[in-house]
Amino acid sequence: MITPHPPSGCNTGPTKADGVVNASGKVFGYKCLYVMDGAVIPRALGPNPSRTIAALAERNLALLIASA
């Protein structure tokens, strides 16, 4: 599937061995570095995933604010 929103550059995983970021978008091994775009999605979702990407970013931002 082709999408103009490239996925999977920073896959989500439970540990550093499984992915680049955790479920909140925080990059393993770096303090205060987050990825909150389509790069955390493991594969193409469909022809226009912009709403899914926006919802994921909004969720992760809410988690970040709540933890501050």
Give the C-alpha separation, 1 to 39, whole Å. 16
Q: Which residues contact 22 (CB under 8 A, 6 or more apart)?
A: 12, 13, 14, 28
Asked if 5 is an active-site residue, the reply is yes
The active-site residue, picked from 5, 8, 45, 64, is 5
Catalytic residues: 5
